[in-house]
Amino acid sequence: MKEKLSLNLKHTAGFVSMEEILALAHQSVRHLDALNSGSGAGSDFLGWLSLPDDIAPQLDRIEKTAKHLRSVSGTTVVIGIGGSYLGSRAVIEALSHSFRQQGKDKQHDIIFAGQNICEDYLADLLDVLDGREYSIVVISKSGTTTEPAIAFRIIRDHLEKKAGKARAADRIIAITDEKKGALRTMAETNGYETFVIPDNIGGRYSVLSPVGLLPIALAGFNIRALVNGAKTMELLTRNNRNADTNPALLYAAARNLLLKEGKNIEIMVNFTPKLHYMTEWWKQLYGESEGKEGKGIYPSSADLTTDLHSLGQYIQEGQRNLFETIISVRNPSRKLEIPTAKDDSDQLNYLAGKRLSEVNYNAELGTTLAHSDGKVPIITFSIPELNEQYLGEMIYLFELACAVSGYILDVNPFDQPGVEAYKTNMFALLNKPGYEEAAKKIRTRI
Ligand code: PA5
């Protein structure tokens, strides 16, 4: 039988029963129905539900654009923040050689920018770009977000000085709204090729649109297999009203029941550094979708076994208000065995001949049992290996489960009103025109 993505809820027992999970999952079918009929909160933002089919006509152009940029440059700077960058980074990091530019078959290098306002980061990046032929993919749905806008101004200026305006324009791709925003205007004025982020797809649900797919194709990965994985999961979940076999409903139900038991922190953990950014993407998806109106589960993450030597102590014995969701990858893509040492001076010969994946898997099982003994409920998703198909499945599964979970919590999982608060203060402090009154008020508080 073909191996599959699977969900194991065994280690939630003792906190919530399987009967309770199934009961809430069955009740939550109505949330699936609300998503499918567009009758729930935020129904203007449901374009992601059918992206696995809807994106098909654009795949050729995405691949063609990626091919062009790869032929004229060895590096692309992908500029974006939040949902405009985390999805592509998650997939690229999961599939790339761990030391990307040192890898045997050197891939087209992808560098991310615009996800911070750190002067050192951008100045250091310009040092790197000085010596490279590079392209830019700038992504912003609103076309006005400050962090990517600043990075784009600086890097575009660098590229235009280096390559000339016309050659730079040939190497800049803008992914933005069809009509509105400063980035749309700039793209039209300067003749950049563009891709559209549809109105009905919010940033954090956009990884299967050109937002995620163009950078992933540029990095050399198979976007058709990724989309196919998402389609596989769509078929398994979106119209599956039999909750017992619907992992999105079961996961959404389990985590909400755990919240009711006082477990208001979910730690997503991995046992491979390649999944670090998948957990970052997941945190953004769930944090922005659920954390509002004083509600939500705080999404956190840990990279294991690394963090067993830091956060592990807290997880084992700190406040008992957390649960863990493990992403388990059963097979690595490489093979490495622990060699025998004649003198066994490091006393590791009991591991000689074993693959690292076996040691890692036993670390995972040992951690599951230890944390479970420490009263931490554990949900485990297993995938056979890290490839485009399974990543596509995980992406669709987590998106759908997030939307259902938001509806269980009775919040709109597609807005993010709270993100504006820091921006208003920052604009006032920086004397942005239009913020004069806010500036007067805020200065008295500093
Ligand atoms: O998920 C979201 O909607 C946000 O995280 C956005 O992606 C993020 O704020 C970037 O916005 P924009 O693409 O408009 O620059």
Give the bridge partners for 77, in sequence order. Answer: 111, 136
Co-location of 296 and 195 in the same domain: no
pLDDT value for 3: 77
Helix locations, 261-355, DSSP H? 276-290, 311-317
pLDDT value for 24: 98
Q: Write out the two tokens for 180.
A: 């509105």
Distance from the CA of 200 to the center of ligand 1, in angstroms?
13
Residue whose Cα lies nearest atom 8 of ligand 1: it is 82
259 assigned to some structural domain: yes
Distance from the CA of 416 to the center of ligand 1, in angstroms?
9
Residues lower than pLDDT 50 in the chain: none
Residue whose Cα lies nearest atom 12 of ligand 1: it is 140
Domain final position from 197, 221, 245: 221
Q: Say whether the peptide bond before residue 75 is cis (omega within 30 degrees of 0).
A: no
Co-location of 387 and 401 in the same domain: yes
187 assigned to some structural domain: yes
Residue whose Cα lies nearest atom 5 of ligand 1: it is 82
437 assigned to some structural domain: no
CA distances, 134 to each of 42, 156, 188, 379 (Å): 39, 11, 21, 42
Ligand 1 closest atom vs CA 211? 13
Co-location of 20 and 86 in the same domain: no
Distance from the CA of 204 to the center of ligand 1, in angstroms?
7
What CATH number is associated with residue 243?
3.40.50.10490
Co-location of 383 and 234 in the same domain: yes
Q: Which amino acid type is present at position 250?
A: L
Residue whose Cα lies nearest atom 2 of ligand 1: it is 203
137 assigned to some structural domain: yes
Separation CA 242–CA 410 (nearest Å)? 22
Distance from the CA of 313 to the center of ligand 1, in angstroms?
34
- Which residues are known catalytic residues? 288, 309, 423
Distance from the CA of 141 to the center of ligand 1, in angstroms?
7
Q: Write out the two tokens for 252.
A: 């959404």
pLDDT value for 438: 85
Domain hosting 259: range is: 6-40+226-417
123 assigned to some structural domain: yes
Give φ, ψ of 39 to 5 degrees.
-105, 5
Protein residues whose CB sits closer than 6 Å to any atom of ligand 1: 81-84, 140-142, 145, 148, 202-204, 288, 416
- 3-state secondary structure at position 193: strand
Co-location of 234 and 332 in the same domain: yes
Provide the domain count of the chain: 2
Domain final position from 183, 202, 221: 221
Ligand 1 closest atom vs CA 145? 15
Residue whose Cα lies nearest atom 9 of ligand 1: it is 82
pLDDT value for 107: 75
Ligand 1 closest atom vs CA 181? 14
Co-location of 137 and 233 in the same domain: no
Task: Among 45, 78, 141, 205, name the best residue to mutate to test ligand 1's pocket (greatest count of ligand atoms within 8 A of Cβ).
Answer: 141
- Count of helices and strands (H, E) across the chain: 18, 10
Co-location of 212 and 359 in the same domain: no
Closest CA to 295 of 254, 259, 321, 252: 259
pTM above 0.85, yes or no: yes
Co-location of 197 and 148 in the same domain: yes
Co-location of 234 and 249 in the same domain: yes
Contact, 219 vs 110, CB < 8 A? yes
Co-location of 209 and 275 in the same domain: no
118 assigned to some structural domain: yes
Domain final position from 168, 203, 221: 221
291 assigned to some structural domain: yes
387 assigned to some structural domain: yes
- Which residue's structure tokens are 């980035």? 183
Distance from the CA of 139 to the center of ligand 1, in angstroms?
9
pLDDT tens per residue, range 237-259: 999 999 999 999 999 999 999 99
Ligand 1 closest atom vs CA 202? 3
Distance from the CA of 83 to the center of ligand 1, in angstroms?
5
Task: Among 81, 194, 288, name the best residue to mutate to test ligand 1's pocket (greatest count of ligand atoms within 8 A of Cβ).
Answer: 81
Ligand 1 closest atom vs CA 85? 7
Co-location of 348 and 241 in the same domain: yes
Angle between helices 436-443 and 420-429 (to 10 degrees): 90
Co-location of 246 and 345 in the same domain: yes
Closest CA to 286 of 29, 86, 52: 86
